[in-house]
Amino acid sequence: LDYLFGDKRTTVIKGVDDIRLGIDIKGGVDVTFAPSDNYDADDTQLDAATEIIKTRLTSLGINDNEVYSDSKSDRIIVRFPWQAGESNFDPEAAVKELGEMAELTFRKGTDADTDEEGNPIPTGEIVLNGNDIANAGYTEQPNDYGDLQWVVTLSLTSDGAKKFAEATAELAGSSTPISIWMDNEMISAPSVNNAITDGNAVITGNFTNETSKKLADQINSGALPFKMETSSFKTISPTMGEGSLDAILLAALIAFILIAVYMVVLYRVPGFVAVIALCGQIAGSIAAVTGWFGFMPGSTLTIPGIAGMILSVGMGVDANIITGERIKEELKSGKTLDSAIKVAYKRAFSAILDGNITNVLIAIILMGAFGVPSSFFSKILNRTIFFMFGATTEGVVYSFGFTLLAGVICNFIFGVFFARLMVTSLSKFNSFSNRKLYGGDVK
């Protein structure tokens, strides 16, 4: 449920469509970057690299992403799902672009050495670098022959404009060009005819619309503080993810129907109430995943997250079985229906509480150990227990812990308190006051 005010759409009540699906369901990319040549990056450099990668993802149109840094092992973990209409998306090219250092330099001349592999290494005096550029854009401009060509336009900072004016004034009319390099690749080397003092520059080359946009985006996002390499890279196709989701949902639906029939046949009224409570528990868990509760941020739903939800439903079934059996035992001992229900829920509560507390602790530990470093449980546990290990940011494990915790909380609410209220209320009606409807004999 949402409403539109001007150009702003505000969501009041979130639904199933608001669930953010993980890459194992929706398909996507999971890549880990590490510094090249065993470079020891500090926390400041890792944070800067993380922000630059986030900016590059945004420039690629990938707004639904997860980017985390692990300072203990000098890793940057990037995950993003497939987007709608991305049938031609090239994940390898995207990952390559994310990991490029993208260090832009303007140099006097075209002098360059070569490394052991024969790759050029520019040696000319640096005139400008990425820090001297305020903004980059791309557009079409006519060349010397009047034909339109794609170029990258640069607006320089005040310091950059001053440096560029001095360099172009020095080289104007000479045979020494100003070469433009992106990392160790020379893009162009235009000659200087006159001093350029207006603080603007243009990069020409054999650009297309896509390549000029890519270069402008790289310049705007800034250069990475260190060279990176891909330490792990995997993709999951949307078809594979959707197939897994369909299989899990079908299996869960069949299992739920069988459980519902079993509970109603074996425990009758308490079993029927248990089925209603389980529906409420599932709805509450889904609401938690979407972020419907204001005090609890949502989470990405993964296949392990669905497994955590199913596990919590199983715990809800166990809780209702324990209560149903207790009601039977109390009725067989000769108690009245009201007394049997009251005593059964009271005696079953301790066993249910112990099991749920155990799972709550497990869920909190998983969320703290494998969650985003800035999350509530991660801040607590990483400072007290896991501080020597660093952030792991395994999203699928965090998703399992999240849905397990949400399911256990909903089990307490629906499977214990609401179920007790419903069974007690139904037993007051003449139509539902027969002891046989609760597993007892007629008395």
The pLDDT value given to residue 383: 54
Together in a domain, 290 and 344: yes
Among candidate residues 323, 307, 324, 313, the one with its CA nearest the CA of residue 257: 313
The pLDDT value given to residue 344: 94
144: in domain: yes
Together in a domain, 366 and 432: yes
Give residue 390's pLDDT band: very low, low, confident or very high (50, 70, 90).
very low
Give residue 15's pLDDT band: very low, low, confident or very high (50, 70, 90).
low
Residue with tokens 């869960």: 252
Together in a domain, 411 and 298: yes
Together in a domain, 279 and 320: yes
Q: Which of 201, 236, 271 is the last residue of a domain?
A: 236
Instruction: Using alpha carbons, list the distances in angstroms from residue 7 to 3, 4, 10, 17, 119.
Output: 10, 7, 10, 21, 51
Domain tally, the chain: 3
Together in a domain, 218 and 289: no
434: in domain: yes
Give residue 389's pLDDT band: very low, low, confident or very high (50, 70, 90).
very low
Residue 163 belongs to domain spanning = 104-223
Together in a domain, 262 and 275: yes
The pLDDT value given to residue 205: 83
Q: What is the Cα–Cα distance from 244 to 24, expressed in whole angstroms?
A: 8
Q: What is the Cα–Cα distance from 32 to 229, expressed in whole angstroms?
A: 9
Which phi and psi angles does 73 have, rounded to 5°? -115, 10
295: in domain: yes
1: in domain: no
Q: Which of 191, 223, 255 is the last residue of a domain?
A: 223
Q: What is the 3-state secondary structure (H, E, C) of the chain?
A: CEEEECCEEEECCCCHHHCCECHHHHCEEEEEEEEHHHCCCCHHHHHHHHHHHHHHHHHCCCCCCEEEEECCCCEEEEEEECCCCCCCCCHHHHHHHHHCCCCEEEEEECCEEECCCCCEEECCCEEEEHHHEEEEEEEEEECCCCCEEEEEEEEECHHHHHHHHHHHHHHCCCCCCEEEEECCEEEECCCCCCCCCCCEEEEEEEECHHHHHHHHHHHHHCCCCCCEEEEEEEEECHHHHHHHHHHHHHHHHHHHHHHHHHHHHHHCHHHHHHHHHHHHHHHHHHHHHHCCCCCCCCCCECHHHHHHHHHHHHHHHHHHHHHHHHHHHHHHCCCCHHHHHHHHHHHHHHHHHHHHHHHHHHHHHHHHHHCCCCCHHHHHHHHHCCCCCCCCCCHHHHHHHHHHHHHHHHHHHHHHHHHHHHHHHHCCCHHHCCHHHHCCCCC
pLDDT digits (tens, 9 = 90+) for 317-334: 999 999 999 999 999 998
Together in a domain, 162 and 29: no
- Report whether pLDDT(377) > 70: no
- Report whether pLDDT(80) > 70: yes
Residue with tokens 């503080």: 225
Spatial contact of 90 and 233, defined as CB atoms under 8 Å apart: no
Give residue 2's pLDDT band: very low, low, confident or very high (50, 70, 90).
low
Average pLDDT, the chain: 85
3: in domain: no
Together in a domain, 244 and 370: yes
The pLDDT value given to residue 217: 86
pLDDT digits (tens, 9 = 90+) for 86-144: 556 677 888 888 888 888 899 999 999 988 888 889 999 999 998 899 999 999 999 88
Beta pairing class for 178-182 and 126-129: unpaired
CATH number of the domain to which 287 belongs:
1.20.1640.10
- Report whether pLDDT(164) > 70: yes
The pLDDT value given to residue 302: 83
- Among 57-61, 169-173, 247-251, 408-412, whose mean pLDDT is lowest? 57-61
pLDDT digits (tens, 9 = 90+) for 233-259: 988 776 556 677 788 889 989 999 999
211: in domain: yes
Averaged pLDDT for residues 336-354: 92
Averaged pLDDT for residues 141-161: 91
Q: Which of 192, 208, 236 is the last residue of a domain?
A: 236
Together in a domain, 108 and 96: no
Give residue 191's pLDDT band: very low, low, confident or very high (50, 70, 90).
confident
Percent of the chain scored above 90 by pLDDT? 43
6: in domain: no
Together in a domain, 204 and 149: yes
The pLDDT value given to residue 17: 64
Among candidate residues 20, 31, 21, 49, the one with its CA nearest the CA of residue 91: 31
Together in a domain, 424 and 335: yes
The pLDDT value given to residue 206: 85
Instruction: Tell me the two tokens of residue 263.
Output: 């509970």
Better pLDDT: 414 or 25: 414
Spatial contact of 402 and 299, defined as CB atoms under 8 Å apart: yes
Q: What is the Cα–Cα distance from 411 to 252, expressed in whole angstroms?
A: 17
CATH number of the domain to which 49 belongs:
3.30.70.3400
Spatial contact of 109 and 179, defined as CB atoms under 8 Å apart: yes
Half-sphere exposure of 1 (CA within 13 A, CB side): 3
- Report whether pLDDT(45) > 80: yes
What's the chain's length in residues?
443
Which residues lie below 8 Å from residue 258, measured CB to CB, with a gap of 6+?
none
pLDDT digits (tens, 9 = 90+) for 268-299: 999 999 999 999 999 999 988 887 776 667 78
CATH number of the domain to which 120 belongs:
3.30.1360.200
Percent of the chain scored above 70 by pLDDT? 85
The pLDDT value given to residue 74: 87
Together in a domain, 210 and 301: no
5: in domain: no
Which residues lie below 8 Å from residue 108, measured CB to CB, with a gap of 6+?
124, 125, 127, 167, 171, 176, 178, 179
